[in-house]
Structure 1
Amino acid sequence: MARPRVPLLSRERIRETALTLIDRDGLTELSMRKLAAELGVQAASLYGHYPTKDELLDDVADLIMAGIDTSPFDGGDWRRGLSDWARSYRSALAEHPNFVPYLATGPGRRDESLRMADAVHGGLVAAGWPPRQATMIGAAARYVVMGSTVGSFSRGFVDDVQVYRDRYPHLEQAHLLRAKADEIDSESFELVLTAFVDGLETRFAEVQRRRAGHRGAASEE
C-alpha cells in the first residue's frame, strides 16, 4: 500500500504561505501551529527550516522589501530618487498592511531592509546631502510611508449622513469619504510627499550655500 504523500516543504513555500495567512488573518493570529496546518504538515516540520518564528518573520520582511525599487537614486537626482523610492515603498507595503507593524520596528539584521537603507543614504549623500541630514531624510520619508499604509483615514467614517450632519457641521460630506477612500488615500500621500520634497529643496539650497561659503573662505586663506 502506497504511503501518504507528504507535501514538500521549502523556505520559500513556508514564507509565502505565512504571508498569505498574515494578509488574511492578521499578524497577531499567525502561529507555527496554524501555519503548519495550512501547509498540511506538523509544526515540528517547520522548525528544520525556521528555528524560530522571528526568523520566519524576518524572511517574510525580506520578501516584501525585495520588491522596493531604489534604482531611481542611481541617477544622482535626489528629488526623483526620494519621490520614486517612496512611491515604490508605499506600493509594496500597501499590498500587505497587516505586516506593516512588524516592519515598523526597524531593519535589525534583515538583508533587504539594510540594502534599501544603504541605497537611500548613499544616494542622498552622493547627491550632496550631509550624512546626518541624509539619515534624517531617510527616516522622515519612512515615517510618511509607514503612516500612509497603517490604516485608511477615509475608511474610518461611516456612510450614514445623519451621524455627522447635525453635530459636526464641517463634516457634512464625511459620509461620502468611504466610497472614495482609495483615491483620497493615494492623493493624500502624494500631497504630503510633494510638500516634503518641496520643503527639502529649501534646506538643500541652504546646504549648498554654506558649502560654497566654506569653499570661498578656504580659498582666501
Structure 2
Amino acid sequence: MGRPRRALLSADLIVREALALIDADGVEAFSMPKLAARLGVKSASLYNHVDGRPAIVEGIRVLIVDEMDMSGFADRPWSEALIAWGRSYRTAFARHPNVIGLITTTTVTSPATLDMFETVVDALARGGWPPETIVPVLTSVENFLVGASFDQAAPDVMIDVAEREHEVPQLAAALRAAGTAKAGRAEVAFELGLAALIDGLAARLAALTDGPA
C-alpha cells in the first residue's frame, strides 16, 4: 500500500493547525468542527489525540512559550533576565495576536508553561524578593507584556485627531512629536515602559530589603 496522502493525525499537528486557524481567521473561528474540517477528518477523530478544546488551548500556549527566551535566567540578575524574557514574550505573542485574549483568560496547567513560571519565580527568589511579593511581581510584569503585545496588533492610527486638532491641541502636538510610524512608536513605548517597570521593581526591592537590588 502507498503512503497516505494526508498527514496522520497527532496531538502536535492538531494544536499547530488550531493555531494556524486562529492566526488566519480569529479566535471566533476556532471550534472542534472547523478544526476537523481544516484537517480533513471528522470531529470525533480529534478526540483520539486531544482531550477537547481546553487541551488544544494549552497546547497553543506551549507553542507560544517555546518561542520565549529563558536563557537569561540561568546566570543573569533577575532584572536583566526579565528584560530579555519580556522582549521575547512580547515578540512571541505579537506573532499570534489573535490568541492573546484566549491564552490570557484560561487557566495554566501545561507542564511546559509551569516550568517557565518556575524558572522566573526561582530567579526572583534568588534575587532576594520576599516570598509574598513574587507572584505580584510576576503578575505585574505579565500585565505589562500582554498590554504591549496588544499594542503591537493595534491599528496603525490608534488615536485619530485629524478633525479635532483645535479641540485637543496638546494631544495633537504630542502625536506629531511621536512620529507617524506605528512600529517605531510601539517600540519606543515598549522599551520605555519595560525599563521603567524594571527600574521601579528594583527600587521597590531595595526598599523592602534595605539594600541594593
Q: Same fold (TM over 0.5)?
A: yes
Q: Unpaired runs of 5+ in structure 2?
A: none
Amino acid at match of 2:191: E
Q: CA RMSD in A?
A: 2.7
SS of equivalent residue, structure 1 residue 128: coil
Supply the distance in 2 between the matched residues of 1:191 and 1:156 (Cα, whole angstroms).
19
In structure 1, the partner of 2:202 is: 201
Amino acid at match of 2:63: L
Residues 179, 185 of structure 2: 8 Å contact kept = no
Q: Unpaired runs of 5+ in structure 1?
A: 212-221
In structure 2, the partner of 1:114 is: 114
Cα distance change, pair 153–122 in 1 and its aligned pair in 2 (3 A): farther
In structure 2, the partner of 1:101 is: 101
User: Per-residue deviation at 1:51?
Assistant: 3.0
Cα distance change, pair 203–171 in 1 and its aligned pair in 2 (3 A): closer
Cα distance change, pair 178–63 in 1 and its aligned pair in 2 (3 A): farther
Amino acid at match of 2:127: A
Percent of aligned pairs with the same residue? 32
Cα distance change, pair 33–140 in 1 and its aligned pair in 2 (3 A): same
Aligned residues: 208
User: Per-residue deviation at 1:10?
Assistant: 1.5
Greater RCO (Cα-Cα under 8 Å, separation 6 or more): 2
Amino acid at match of 2:139: A
More helix by share: 1
Supply the distance in 2 between the matched residues of 1:87 and 1:31 (Cα, whole angstroms).
31
TM-score w.r.t. the length of structure 1 is: 0.83
SS of equivalent residue, structure 1 residue 124: helix
Supply the distance in 1 between the matched residues of 2:179 and 2:7 (Cα, whole angstroms).
42
Supply the distance in 1 between the matched residues of 2:120 and 2:157 (Cα, whole angstroms).
32
Amino acid at match of 1:193: L
Alignment counterpart, residue 157 of structure 1, candidates 148, 156, 159: 159
Structure having the higher Rg: 1
In structure 1, the partner of 2:187 is: 186
SS of equivalent residue, structure 1 residue 156: coil
In structure 1, the partner of 2:53 is: 53
